[in-house]
Chain A
Amino acid sequence: MTTLSAADRDTVVALIASSLRDLYEQNGISNADGDLSEDTRLIGRHAALDSLGLVTLIVDLEQKIEETFDVALTLANERAMSQKNSPFLTVGSLATYICALIDEQRNV
């Protein structure tokens, strides 16, 4: 059984940050959190994205992950939506969730 390396996780975080920056730019959002970090909020009161922004982020990330890791993921599946602690809460929680999904796909 293989698991993602720390370098792979860094790549996932970088992909999320890149997608977020594109979205901020497209929507004229100044980054209220300052520099993007793993603590940057994606949903909730302190998030810069609206619901459509989150949808666009998810779609964009699915494409980037497929291009980078050659795995086709569905990020917004029923499991994610029913989790008590949403994986879409912060950049860090989303990265952890994506790494777990990539691991699952690779070990099928």
Chain B
Amino acid sequence: MTTDQQVVLITGARKGIGRFLAERFVRNGALVEGCSREPPDWSLDGYTHHLADVADESQVKAMMTAIGRRRGRLDIVINNAGVAAMNHSLLTPVASLDRIFDTNVRGTFLVCREAARLMQRRRFGRIVNLSTVAVPLRLEGEALYAASKGAVETLTRILAREFGPLGITVNAVGPTPIETDLIRGVPPEKIQKIVDSLAIRRLGRFEDVANVIDFFVRPESDYVTGQVIYLGGVS
């Protein structure tokens, strides 16, 4: 059975910006599906949570099958699940590389691939991946995180070309530091240094990210794909 409402999938929806976006899409009338490795401590009418690791192919496939069977469609995907780590490269264990690339690159690819399989049935889809200003700013201490998001940007640009003929756009938004768990372990002076390098010198807000996502996912943006928009005036 296919619903008339838009169906949105948000990965990493348990907390932070993922939760914010889930609540926002529900408020705007969408049916929202979310996932994370741990269960959320909240629930919401119009929101369905899946316990799934985006880096696990069988779990991603099972989640998409469940969405396809229950909703009959998938319109929007926000690839928000992400892992960050700050460390000098000389002090970084290879296990960090595996952990970061598993979620950020493998996870983004798997979710894009399986989502596009569902989306192509209706010849419509909007995929938004999450990058970071750490890519263009080439921040010291964030080599692996920035490299993984650099890969996400390349995936975004190439998948945009592959999925374009199927009516699916793929774009990315690169936020500045936002007050979330992801930057909790980063020294305040390091964050301030990044903020000072921005054209607009403040921390990002969830609303800033949502604003770019709104633009990418609106029906009129069907001629906008393969783009990466950075916040805060970074280019």
Chain A positions near chain B (C-beta within 8 angstroms): 26, 52, 56, 59-60, 62-63, 66, 72
Kindly list the 10 A-B residue pairs having the minimum CB-CB distance in the complex, ordered from nearest.
A59-B117, A52-B165, A59-B120, A56-B120, A72-B61, A63-B117, A66-B65, A56-B166, A62-B117, A63-B68
What is the bound-complex CA distance between A26 and B123, given in angstroms?
A: 10
Give the residue name and chain of the A residue nearest to B116 (CB). A59
Cross-chain pair count, CB within 8 angstroms: 15
Give the residue name and chain of the B residue nearest to A59 (CB). B117
| Residues of chain A lying within 8 A (CB to CB) of residue B121 | 60, 63
| Residues of chain A lying within 8 A (CB to CB) of residue B166 | 52, 56
Interface size class of B (residues with CB under 8 A): under 10
Which residues of B70-103 have CB atoms within 8 Å of chain A's CB atoms?
Answer: none
Give the residue name and chain of the A residue nearest to B61 (CB). A72
What is the bound-complex CA distance between A63 and B120, given in angstroms?
A: 12
Give the residue name and chain of the B residue nearest to A66 (CB). B65
Give the residue name and chain of the B residue nearest to A58 (CB). B117
Which residues of B166-219 have CB atoms within 8 Å of chain A's CB atoms?
Answer: 166
| Residues of chain B lying within 8 A (CB to CB) of residue A56 | 120, 166
Give the residue name and chain of the A residue nearest to B165 (CB). A52
What is the bound-complex CA distance between A72 and B61, given in angstroms?
A: 9
What is the bound-complex CA distance between A59 and B117, given in angstroms?
A: 6
| Residues of chain A lying within 8 A (CB to CB) of residue B123 | 26
Give the residue name and chain of the A residue nearest to B166 (CB). A56
15 contacts between A and B (CB under 8 A): A26-B123, A52-B165, A52-B166, A56-B120, A56-B166, A59-B117, A59-B120, A60-B121, A62-B117, A63-B68, A63-B117, A63-B121, A66-B65, A72-B61, A72-B65
What is the bound-complex CA distance between A62 and B166, given in angstroms?
A: 17
Shortest Cβ gap from B73 to chain A (Å): 13
| Residues of chain B lying within 8 A (CB to CB) of residue A59 | 117, 120
What is the bound-complex CA distance between A72 and B64, given in angstroms?
A: 12
Question: Other CB < 8 Å A-B pairs besides A26-B123, A63-B121, A72-B65, 12 of them?
Answer: A52-B165, A52-B166, A56-B120, A56-B166, A59-B117, A59-B120, A60-B121, A62-B117, A63-B68, A63-B117, A66-B65, A72-B61
Q: Binary interface profile of B, 94-138, with partner A (CB < 8 Å = 1, else 0)?
A: 000000000000000000000001001101000000000000000
| Residues of chain B lying within 8 A (CB to CB) of residue A52 | 165-166
Shortest Cβ gap from A66 to chain B (Å): 7
Shortest Cβ gap from A60 to chain B (Å): 8
